[in-house]
A and B are shown apart, each in its own frame.
Chain A
């Protein structure tokens, strides 16, 4: 009788542990993707040599998109103004909230007849995971293409003069008009986010007849 009682107690305790630990794990996971962002110390604000200036023709490129297929800069020529947003790397601070901000600013890009191309030197699977955690609700799905400049590593970043010595890219914005001419360059301090209004001013300039 005593042995049966003991067995029953053991079973109860085991079940209790399983339920409690299971609930804890599930609760901890909910909305906890931000916990995977890799902490980074303050970096050298800029670590590349400029290759382009405003007024230059934007170098063409073709890159694989996270959503599938390939996207070329040239396909927007004569159609759309283009904003290229290089960010240093997936799963790092600042980068991880810069694009979610642009994601809710779609109306601004539309207003200036512009498309945004987000580029990093990461591979597609990494970008797939990273961009999925940027939006918590399917209704907020990223509206702009995210492109991988992974192989040959950082080749587009190199062409644009924003490849850093550690293989990441600068936090940089390029605005290219419908003729394919670079109208604005902001190679920003890598540790800080470029204010949205600076980009909007550049888009205003480009859209002025």
Chain B
């Protein structure tokens, strides 16, 4: 009996220690939402990297200017397009900002992640990557693209409408979207902060596993 009590006590202590250590969770080490967002605590609560699967809102983005970007996303025409028009089983969205040092610092890794997908013929049609520049004008998004030679499409979200719609809390935020059996887009992944890209291969494996697409985990 006494032994059992001791064991229970020890287990509780270990659990408390784990809780305070933050092990098993990913800290949010990014930028808090910029103005004109209402003031908020800049210390975001901890959240596991993989979010609960939830429906994904439909929103519009401006049609890319470049034919190469249109072709990458399987789009044609001008004006705007709906996010559902991107023909890929998995879409990964990076919410970034030109002004966010964490986004600046991780930009080369995000580019590397894109190249990693493109280098695998069985993946490049299945996973597409876009960036949404939160509170950034087109000019700022283009400046970010030029500065870091970003090879995937970037879009401005100057009024932070998409940022709010997706429930983002800061930058960078990575959102994974997949097409479910009913042909609808659903969110299967939420990663906050730049930590996700410390190891691009590992991140790609995580996306493959969580999205459920048929591809080899390397």
Contact = CB atoms under 8 A, between A and B. Distances in A.
B99 A101 contact: yes
A192 B35 contact: yes
Interface residues of B, number: 41
Given A34-B102, A35-B42, A37-B42, A101 B140 contact: yes
A136 B140 CA distance: 20
B35 A136 contact: no
A197 B158 CA distance: 13
A34 B20 CA distance: 20
A13 B10 contact: yes
B68 interface: no
Contacts of B10: 13
Contact of A42 (B27, B38, B42, B104): B38
B137 A195 contact: yes
A52 B33 CA distance: 33
Given A21-B17, A104-B147, A197-B137, A191 B27 contact: no
A200 B100 CA distance: 20
A186 interface: no
Interface in A88-116: 93-94, 97-98, 100-101, 104-105, 107-108
Given A30-B29, A35-B42, A196-B98, A23 B23 contact: yes
A41 B43 CA distance: 16
A32 B104 contact: no
Contacts of A191: 35-36
A37 B98 CA distance: 18
Interface string B173-215: 0000000000000000000011100000000000000000000
B20 A24 contact: yes
B22 A39 contact: no
Given A97-B97, A197-B139, A20 B35 contact: no
A193 B135 contact: yes
A101 B34 CA distance: 13
A130 B18 CA distance: 32
Nearest to B16: A17
Contacts of B217: none
Contact of A24 (B23, B98, B105, B147): B23
A202 to B, nearest CB: 13
Contacts of A135: 101
A100 B43 CA distance: 20
A196 B100 contact: no
Given A27-B22, A97-B97, A34 B39 contact: no
Interface in A150-209: 191-193, 195-197, 200
B27 A27 contact: yes
B141 to A, nearest CB: 10
Contacts of A107: 147
B153 interface: no
A143 interface: no
Interface string B37-70: 0111111000000000000000000000000000
A31 B194 contact: yes
B14 interface: yes
Nearest to A31: B29
B42 A39 contact: yes
B39 A32 contact: no
21 contacts: A17-B17, A23-B21, A24-B21, A24-B23, A31-B29, A42-B38, A93-B34, A93-B42, A97-B31, A97-B99, A100-B101, A100-B104, A101-B98, A136-B102, A136-B104, A192-B36, A193-B35, A193-B135, A195-B137, A196-B139, A196-B140
Interface of B: 10, 13-14, 17-18, 20-23, 27, 29-32, 34-36, 38-43, 97-102, 104-105, 135, 137, 139-140, 143-144, 147, 193-195
Given A27-B22, A136-B102, A191-B36, 12 more contacts: A20-B18, A21-B20, A23-B21, A34-B32, A39-B41, A93-B39, A94-B34, A94-B35, A191-B35, A192-B35, A196-B139, A197-B140
